[in-house]
Chain A
Amino acid sequence: MSADFPADSVGLVSPKSMDFDTPLKLDSGAALDRFTLVYETYGELNAARDNAVLVCHALSGDHHAAGYHADTPHKPGWWDNCIGPGKPVDTRRFFVVCPNNLGGCAGSTGPLSLNPATGEPFGPDFPLVTVRDWVETQARLADALGIECWAAVMGGSLGGMQALQWAVDYPDRLRHAVVIAAAPRLSTQNIAFNEVARHAIRSDGDFHAGRYYEHGVVPARGLMLARMLGHITYLSDDVLMAKFGRELRDGKLNYGYDIEFQIESYLRYQGESFVKRFDANTYLLMTKSLDYFDPAARFGDSLAKAVARTRAKFFVASFSSDWRFSPARSREIVRALLEADLDVSYVELESELGHDSFLLEIPLYHEALAAWFQRIAAEGTQA
């Protein structure tokens, strides 16, 4: 079976799961008595336990970052182009861990899980979680796996924010932070987009104040709208124009509200397929976590002070056409790291593909990542 997968793939993988029964106090003040994290690992943890890389997922991601599941043998994990033997994060050298975040809908404890207090799914009663809460759960996972210090914590977008938060909350537990297409906190416009997405979901008649499971429905129209809006912001004007232009599906105008332009067809397809795989309550919660992210807030609004305790080395990257988290936002992070006298390298990569670039196999981007991870590996053998 594994022979069917590409040679540079980690091949067939299956998720693992870890239960934690020490109560978790959340930023919001709420607490969870127990929780479960679903995660995947690729590669082998070495004897020194110093080759582990934590991969953090973004808004709509999950623990399936690389390789193939038996039931979807043609669809690799979301960052498969980056993780595998011979790929930038080379699984012949590194032990990669990717968990599904708390509050997610892919197996970790979240709104779909049963609330022990009621025996029903949490739904809207699942507490709001923050990036700090995620880092705390990931640290517990590291403890359970016997990983004292990550060789690197990495992620793009919301995943990059987790890597940054790691350096703030556990300054001694990572040697490198890889922060891609991220921001030190959301802009007003970012929050505004998230609010439109949330409003679309919450105003759907099938939302039932978040208790749609009990009614046997999902707020499909609202979630679809949220995803359509999100998708527009993940891509650039140029790439949409290049990909779809003003092409008409039927080759002529029909003077009606059915699909006419190809972009309409594309967005509806993206929205519909998202509804099949994602939970609306999780989407709401994830966008809130984005809005709340602000690691400098506890340090007098100084990101430099927030990261001052770490000695981690940072790799920061942005993409020229990303207007969701633009290069200027990454430069804010870089400036804080410079102010804190930390080791940092920064590259702004030319790409027309917008925010989604971080998921794509862009040659210079992957060369830079590969160079960075080779440097990590070389430092490891020197130590």
Chain B
Amino acid sequence: MSTLREDQLSIVEWIAPGSRVLDLGCGDGALLHHLQRERGVTGYGVEIAPDNIIRCIARGVNVIHSDLDRGLSDFDDASFDYVVMTEALQAMRYPHQLLRDMLRVGRESIVTFPNFGHWKCRLQIAFGRMPVTEHLPDTWYNTPNIHMCTIRDFEALCASEHIQVMDRRAVDTRHRDSRAMRWWPNLLAEVALYRCRRQPA
């Protein structure tokens, strides 16, 4: 049985039945497996870890072994309805270039990332230390997250890249939101979820 992470469950409802999905950093293929069974979705996962690739194969999820830092050159323009990347943007060498590539390959992109603007992060920085939280448990020297950003940072990047935000959810680590979180997402949300597309010309 596939067990979805909370952020994955949240984005399932953004994906139209029968659509074509590319899942970047698909891990063990749980999201695509779920989408295939529940929403009649087709598509591929992209993954770098061989043991995860084998798990994808075992559950019948198409998976392509690839390093996302080398871009999406294997995929044609506009060949997917959605290009999804959950909790991986901050670990990319060039997040802005990958975002561009995602919107080249897909009609829409769905991105989730940990919000570095959360008050717990701000507080630890204020006391002069790099943040270590429940959701970001790694220390500065061993974290895979080399490009942390805040919700405001991400939206500024979208604006400068002419990317239109279609949907946003700002939630805590249990993926609950609250009125306060909707008012002050950059201070109170631990995880941000975005659905974007190229700004219509």
Residues in chain A within 8 A of chain B (CB atoms):
315, 331, 334-335, 338-339, 343-350, 364, 367-368, 371-372, 374-375, 378-379
Contacts and interface: CB of A to CB of B under 8 A. Distances in A.
A344 B62 contact: yes
B53 interface: yes
A371 B50 contact: no
23 contacts: A331-B74, A334-B74, A338-B64, A339-B76, A344-B62, A345-B53, A345-B62, A346-B65, A346-B66, A347-B53, A347-B63, A347-B65, A364-B50, A364-B51, A367-B54, A368-B50, A368-B53, A368-B54, A371-B54, A374-B58, A375-B58, A375-B60, A379-B60
Contacts of B76: 338-339
A347 B50 contact: yes
B116 interface: no
A379 B64 CA distance: 21
Contacts of B64: 334, 338, 344-346
Given A331-B74, A364-B50, A371 B57 contact: yes
A364 B65 CA distance: 13
Contacts of A331: 74
Interface string B39-79: 00000100000110110111010111110000000111001
Contacts, number: 52
A372 B56 CA distance: 10
A375 B57 contact: yes
B71 to A, nearest CB: 13
Given A339-B76, A346-B66, 20 more contacts: A315-B57, A338-B74, A338-B79, A343-B62, A344-B64, A345-B53, A345-B63, A345-B64, A346-B63, A346-B64, A347-B50, A347-B54, A347-B65, A349-B50, A368-B50, A368-B53, A372-B57, A374-B58, A375-B57, A378-B60
A350 B50 contact: yes
Contacts of A349: 50
Across the A-B interface, the 9 shortest Cβ-Cβ residue pairs: A371-B58, A371-B57, A347-B65, A346-B64, A345-B63, A364-B50, A348-B65, A347-B53, A367-B54
Contacts of B65: 346-348
A368 B74 CA distance: 22
Nearest to A332: B74
A87 to B, nearest CB: 16
Contacts of B63: 345-347
